[in-house]
Amino acid sequence: MKKENTPARPFLKWAGGKSQLLQQFSSLYPSALKENEIKNYYEPFLGSGAVFFDIAHQYTIKSAQLSDINQNLIITYLTIQNKVDKLIESLYQIEKKYLALNAEKRKAFYYKQRESFNSERKEINFSKQNDGWIRRATQVIFLNRTCFNGLYRVNSKGDFNTPSGVYTNPTICDHENLLKVSNALSIAVIKCAGYTEALRKTKNNSFIYLDPPYRPLTKSAAFTAYSHQGFTDVHQKELANVFTQLSNKGNLVMLSNSDPKNVDPNDTFFDDLYANFRIACIAARRGINSDATKRGAVNEIVVMNY
């Protein structure tokens, strides 16, 4: 049974975000979830959280374990969960300042914020919630909403390095949606952790969604989306082993990734890794390429153990 209230939406743009795929995902969710038999949900590659918000809106889950290795992302989620009113006020103030500027001054303002965001990283106490988190979360959302393509990208040193974007009237403080996001997160335990730590102990009657950094379709397509740590084929194989372990414990597990057959019909990398599981193919429109003529529909895979 689906709920009727308007759902929370992702508050960040995110590389590989799943908002556009939710309708296709809905047909692939396990029947036990649709029948409200699933009470616990895990998402260890959280990103924009589109799938969590969709599931929390549609179905009656009692708890969610949400995690990611991106410390700034997790700080922002926790701030929305626990200090949303203060965050909204902070975002309103920075939005007001930014929108009052002309294009040239907006660009300078953006780079000043990006510089302080990077320089203050070593001063942030990521382990315990504090007032500094409000400023940090404000900068995360501001930079995300005003940078080029909404792309969260860091260099090898961990510095955010996406250039300024050009927007006429960007929404930086989405007051109404942030309140809905905070409400949706009320059932969640949120932590900064790798997927192996996050999934070390899973409750019975759980659904787990895995959305790792996608395997690049070409060498030139590889980029560090949200961490200075890469995610290689070795990591993809390690994740496949965890998928099998989770399945053997009786969990319902669903995983997304790129479809290498978009560029090489003979590439059976994922077919081999997940030979014992069901693999569905879905169409996605991706716009990460800097050349707009190369953006378009591609196939992605969804692996399921049910």
Q: Would you state the pLDDT for residue 16? A: 82
Q: What is the mean pLDDT of residues 6-12?
A: 94
Q: Dump pLDDT digits (tens) for 74-124.
A: 999 999 999 999 999 999 999 999 999 999 999 999 999 999 999 999 999
Q: Would you state the pLDDT for residue 294? A: 52
Kindly write down the DSSP assignment for every residue of 44-83, as one continuous string.
SS-TT-HHHHHHHHHS--SEEEEEES-HHHHHHHHHHHHH
Helices 132-146 and 103-119 pack at an angle, to 10 degrees, of 140
pLDDT reading at 54 higher than 50: yes
Percentage of the chain beyond pLDDT 90 is 82
pLDDT reading at 1 higher than 70: no
Q: Pairing relation of β-strands 296-304 and 252-258? A: antiparallel
Question: Residue 229 — pLDDT band, cuts 50, 70, 90?
Answer: low
Average pLDDT, the chain: 92
pTM for the model stands at 0.92
285 three-state secondary structure: strand
Q: What is the mean pLDDT of residues 42-52?
A: 97
Nearest-CA neighbor of 8 among 258, 182, 248? 182
pLDDT reading at 266 higher than 50: yes
Identity of the residue numbered 77:
Y
Q: Which of 234-238, 248-252, 284-288 has the lowest mean pLDDT?
A: 284-288
Provide the 10 A C-beta neighbour count for residue 27. 9
If one compares 254 and 3, the residue with the highest pLDDT of the two is 254
Spatial strand order in the sheet of 188-192: 188-192, 63-68, 40-43, 206-210, 252-258, 296-304, 278-286
Under 8 Å between Cβ of 148 and 162: yes
